[in-house]
Structure 1
Amino acid sequence: MSSGKVIVYGGKGALGSAILEFFKKNGYTVLNIDLSANDHADSNILVDASKNWVEQEQSILEQAASSLQGAQVDGVFCVAGGWAGGSASSKDFVKNADLMIKQSVWSSAIAAKLATTHLKPGGLLQLTGAAAATGPTPSMIGYGMAKAAVHHLTASLAEKDSGLPENSSVLTILPVTLDTEMNRNWTPLSFISENLLKWTTESSSRPSSGALLKIVTANGESTITPQ
């Protein structure tokens, strides 16, 4: 018997795969949304990168409605994104900014829209920001712009009349550096997965809705600090 249902937007990447597999091990049915399928997911929605923002939204919403068949989910987790640097004088400044906005802002907004339709009352919407974007980012302006927009989206969604279901929460994680295949010395992906499960199942354990949560690992210990 399923413990519940969650949507992982970006469930093919390093963090998304870890979250998806962790929730599967804990009995959840998981819907993945990404550019490519994750074989561990119960179902997949493929994002067409050639489509514009509105077209992507329409396609994802239609496929989610078909997949869920009216069922509500306990959590919507958006961990899609990437990184590209560049100052204003960089050759690829606008190109990289465009990419960052597509990867972080488009996905976060669509995840929020999914939450308004499919998230249970009292459910959890999680977005992904960046600790660096709480201040100036002169060497990676596009990245900072995109993540700052996600931070603003978070604050807005936490307010009354934002459109999210009653008693739901929105939390945005600000990883400093995640434990990817290239870097094994930072925050383990399991730490984030475990906290997401706890916040999903125990609403009383959640930080305040709208919180930006800085995640830091030092000397093998990971901590979460609201900003």
Structure 2
Amino acid sequence: MSAHALVYGGAGALGRAVVGRFRKSQWTVTSVDFSPNADATHNVILDQSMTSDLEKSGLDVESRVLDAWKGSEGSSNLSAVVNVAGGWAGGNFKDDALYKNVTLMMSQSMNTSVISARLAAKHLREGGLLAVVGAAAALEGTPEMQEWLVAYGATKAAVHQLIQSAAAPGSGLPSNTRAVAIMPITLDTPMNRKFMPDADHSTWTPLETVAEKLADWASGKEVVTNGALYEIVTKKGNTEWVNRA
């Protein structure tokens, strides 16, 4: 029986890289997203109308995941749950779209992380990996970056707290679960290339680099610190993973 990873956001740019890397190692992979990933073993297609309601969307995802696994022996015994879903919305406290943007960021980053942790609590094997995406900018206030202040920064700070709670005793996760957040600065995605063509791309982190690290942690090839908040720092094409917890 192969190892099994669940990737929340498996049809996005980073999600496709992560799914592809796990499949390269012959893992079974369940992708959870609004559209299918042809490389995944199982696809869970989400109902977009429920995303702002955590209770409804969470229960719906749990049900759809079980439906996707019907008839697949051992599918509920996950070795890794990885949440790479997310997005970006800005605005400061004067912004008329403040409530809308915070709600959007909560549904994209915090709600997906809560659901991922819940799936890990129910289906992750002992010693498995739970990984979510945070943001280094959310480790402190951002007075020079008002567009990050509320919607993005506050939500990502909540994700950091969630993962450190998940790493603590009594979290409800299986024994010896390794719960971590990764904090990219800028990922080298086609969309970022399109909108920032003149940027210094040598400071951008390749998607394959992130996917490789997650696969190494999940497989036990590399040791990962439980409760860590790993800032991903890329300079001149070289990437370091710095624990900011």
Report the TM range for the smaller structure's normalisation: over 0.9
The one-letter code of the counterpart of 1:180 is T
- Whether contact under 8 Å (1:3, 1:26) holds in the other structure is no
Q: What secondary structure does 1:183 align onto?
A: helix
Determine whether 1:58 maps to 2:59.
yes
**How many matched pairs?**
225
Aligned counterparts of 2:155 and 2:77: Cα–Cα separation in 1: 29
Hey, what does 1:49 align to over in structure 2? 48
Gaps of 5+ in 2: 194-200
Provide the residue aligned with 2:207 in structure 1.
189
Q: CA RMSD in A?
A: 1.4
Task: State TM-score, norm by structure 2.
Answer: 0.88
Q: Identify the match of residue 78 of structure 1 among 74, 83, 92.
A: 83
Pairing 1:1-227 to 2, within 5 Å after superposition: 3-51=2-50, 52-69=53-70, 71-137=76-142, 138-140=146-148, 141-183=150-192, 185=201, 186-202=204-220, 205-227=222-244
- Whole-angstrom distance in 2 between the partners of 1:126 and 1:200: 9
SS in 1 for 2:113: helix
Moved more, 20-29 or 178-187: 178-187
- Inter-partner Cα distance in structure 2 for 1:95 and 1:36: 24
Of 10-19 and 34-43, the range deviating more from structure 2:
34-43
Aligned letter for 1:44? N
1:3 is displaced (CA, Å) by: 3.4
How far did residue 145 of structure 1 move?
Answer: 1.1
Matched residue SS, 1:206 = coil
Rounded to whole Å, the distance in 2 between the matches of 1:55 and 1:97 is 19
Measure the CA separation in 2 of the matches of 1:80 and 1:115.
16
Q: Structure 1 stretch 60-69 or stretch 158-167: which is displaced more?
A: 60-69
Equivalent residue letter for 2:219: T
For 1:65, the aligned partner's letter is L
Give me the whole-angstrom Cα distance separating, in 2, the residues matched to 1:207 and 1:5: 19
| Shift, 1:90, TM fit | 1.4
Whether the 8 Å CA contact 2:167–2:178 is kept in 1: the answer is: yes
Tell me the TM-score normalised to structure 1 length: 0.95
Q: Which amino acid aligns with 2:96?
A: K
Q: Quote how far apart the aligned CAs of 1:115 are.
A: 0.1
Whichever residue aligns with residue 177 of structure 1, its letter is T
- The runs of 5 or more residues in structure 1 that have no matched partner are none
Aligned-residue offset at 1:44: 1.0
Distance in 2 (CA, whole Å) between partners of 1:106 and 1:166 is: 23
